[in-house]
Amino acid sequence: MVDDSPMFGLSEEHRSIRAAVRAVCDDKVAPHAAEVDAASAFPQAAYDALRAADFHAPHIPEEYGGAGADALATCLVMEEVARACASSSLIPGVNKLGTMPLLLSGSERLKKAYLPPVARGGAMFSYCLSEPDAGSDAAAMATRARRDGDTYVLDGVKRWITNAGVSDYYTVFAVTDPTSDGNAISAFVVERSDPGVSFGAPERKLGIKGSPTREVYLDSVRIPADRLVGAEGEGFRIAMRTLDHTRVTVAAQAVGIAQGALDFALGYVQERHQFGRPVADFQGLQFMLADMGMRVEAARQLTYAAAGRSERDDDDLTFFGAAAKAFASDTAMAVTTDAVQLLGGYGYTRDYPVERMMRDAKITQIYEGTNQVQRLVMARQLLAGVQSEL
């Protein structure tokens, strides 16, 4: 259990986790970040380093061979990896996103079959919810799963799937009862090796270029019926509960990106001289730095508060997860843009990392629910009276 009150600091254990992740990332992740971005290449060196240190999927419980990190510790991992390389942070981030439906609703057989390989680092797990015509309106999905004896047959297309083609396993959401008023949706585990599974070309993206994003094609994919996650018709609820938890890790990713940009800008303005003195001496720049630092810390505290609610699965997690994700991602976009401004012309070039960080930050305002959707979620929670004080 973690104390999410901003009046208190991290526990000694959590501080140790942060220090350990930062050491790994400074040594083995950050040095490859620019190359990964330039080549749009999966960050294999980062994956190897995170796997060796058990930071690639820290959230998996010990009973399934994982590190058993709580929600706050998982956020610390996300934050520190994103500070070094946003693309690499999608390794622990998407492993949590893909496996969370199993942790929330999966049978014990499914958990024992699929969580240990991810915990060992022998496989990764992606999440297939969005479709070409079903983004924010996830319930409009067209993918179908038809029961056929002791199997299901899946047909459809999933879009914007992070780490598609690299991950071995996929949580796929599909309509199992197209005649129902609610278009009953169910969740399934699909393996990359299942006949009928294929992938589109990698998307040509603005940022997080080292994390492949592809379409997943399901062409009469026949899977055993026991790969159903939860019960038939529970898929939409499972998907939304999953996002309540994983939006907190996206918030941590955004905090990490923002912190990385602030760290670099702080060093630069103290070394760069104009008019005979460091530009850090000028009050206008100091005001920018103050605002950047204030926003990052506010986003961090809100994210940690949300992490506490995720760990306890509190009633107001939906509000706090949406709030943390929206606020932290807006902060990341603002802080990285200011970091580019502080570096002037140099900030606009690939010779310095802040332009990459600015490009990477943008996606945090979009995926796992746009920030416009987050505001709808928050407003509905407020109107329903589901919000508590710290």
Provide the annotated active-site residues: 368
Assess contact for 353 and 259: CB atoms under 8 A: no
What is the Cα–Cα distance from 190 to 308, expressed in whole angstroms?
31
R_g of the chain, CA atoms, integer Å: 21
What is the Cα–Cα distance from 170 to 158, expressed in whole angstroms?
11
Assess contact for 26 and 80: CB atoms under 8 A: no
**What's the distance, CA 329 to chain centroid?**
11
Per DSSP bridges, beta strands 125-128 and 169-177 are: parallel
Assess contact for 99 and 60: CB atoms under 8 A: yes
Classify residue 279 by its DSSP letter. G
| DSSP-assigned letters across all residues of 12-45 | HHHHHHHHHHHHHIIIIIHHHHHHHHHHT---HH
What is the Cα–Cα distance from 170 to 166, expressed in whole angstroms?
11
What is the Cα–Cα distance from 87 to 46, expressed in whole angstroms?
10
